[in-house]
Amino acid sequence: MASLIGSVFLLVLQTYAAPPEFIQVGTGTTSGPGMPGNDTVGPSLVPPPGTSKRTPQSIIIGVRKGGTRALLEMLDIHPEVAAAATEVHFFDWDENYAKGFDWYRNLMPYSYPHQITVEKTPGYFTSALAPERIHAMNSSIKLLLILRDPAERVISDYTQVYFNRLENHKPVQAIENMLVRNGALNTRYKAIQRSLYDVHMSNWLQHFPLEQIHIVDGDTLIRNPLPELQKVERFLNLPPRIVSSNFYFNQTKGFYCIRSDGRERCLHESKGRPHPVVNGTVLRQLRSYLREHNHNFYRMVKRSFNWL
């Protein structure tokens, strides 16, 4: 009798707690790198008729601390975009890549044939292996690269690590101690290496033509999101659906938030954290070192940016 009651209770729970049409995509909530997030339909749920899980037709390849989460959340407004909720790290982590394309596809959201599946993993841009691996999957895939001022990106990178270490009760160092070693700029510091955009871009251009890589200006996206999103729509051949009313400026947070489907949402509180004030001499050293790399990058992509 007890087992019969338990079975009935489970049936009721499956029927009322999770209707079959429920599917949640692009909420920004994750279950950890490479793990299914809110976009995953559980074993007791039936995906919407006509949908399937497909490998992405577009990937946001980076850059770390360049605005990848903001770009994905804003792009997810579009009704013809199905956004993966997690950073999959398939093409940059060997242990995940070894699991194969079926494993990768299973982490994608269910989508209709007219929709574009998009995933984002910031680590792809600086990975030596990601370009070749993505090309092997789909040589005609459309890539989205969002970049910001590389010196500001370094500071933002440090800030994220700083707060993560604080939260995990680990020792922290002042940013100047990370940027300078023995009186000289510490060019081996990982945050600086990630900001050498020309070095990483040269690797991507060995596998993809520039026409397949759309660069989003991350600094502009934060100040005025709509024009950048409209460029992305055109690049992905999406009908124009994102409009100015989809965004509103949150005075408390100091950046734009999203309004869509009658809901308002802002990025996680970890976004937009205040940056430390960096010693002026050290900051000038950093900018001076990055300047040549920036100009090399401008020549590569046939476009310039307002980076100091």
Annotated binding site: 65-69, 148, 156, 256, 271-275
Terminal-to-terminal C-alpha distance of the chain: 74
Distance CA 27, CA 255 (A): 18
Q: By C-alpha distance, which of 228, 230, 231 is closest to 218?
A: 228
Q: Which residues of 116-152 are buried (b: 16+ CB within 10 A; e: fewer)?
A: bbbbbbbbbbbbeebbeebbeeeeebbbbbbbbbbbb
In terms of Cα–Cα distance, which of 184, 155, 147 is closest to 275?
155
- Which candidate, 130, 111, 129, 107, places its Cα nearest to that of 33? 107
Beta bridge partners of 82: 117
The three-class DSSP label of residue 82 is strand
Strands 116-120 and 81-83, how do they pair?
parallel
CB 156, CB 68: distance < 8 Å: no
The annotated binding site for 3'-phosphoadenylyl sulfate is made up of 65-69, 148, 156, 256, 271-275
Residue tagged active-site, from 53, 65, 120, 142: 65
The residue with tokens 């008729």 is 49
Tell how strand 255-260 and strand 263-265 pair up.
antiparallel
Distance of alpha carbon 51 from the chain centroid: 24
Establish whether 253 is a catalytic residue.
no
Q: Quick check: helix, strand or coil at residue 108?
A: coil
- In terms of Cβ atoms closer than 10 Å to its own Cβ (0-12, 13-18, 19+), residue 14 is middle
Q: Which residues are catalytic?
A: 65
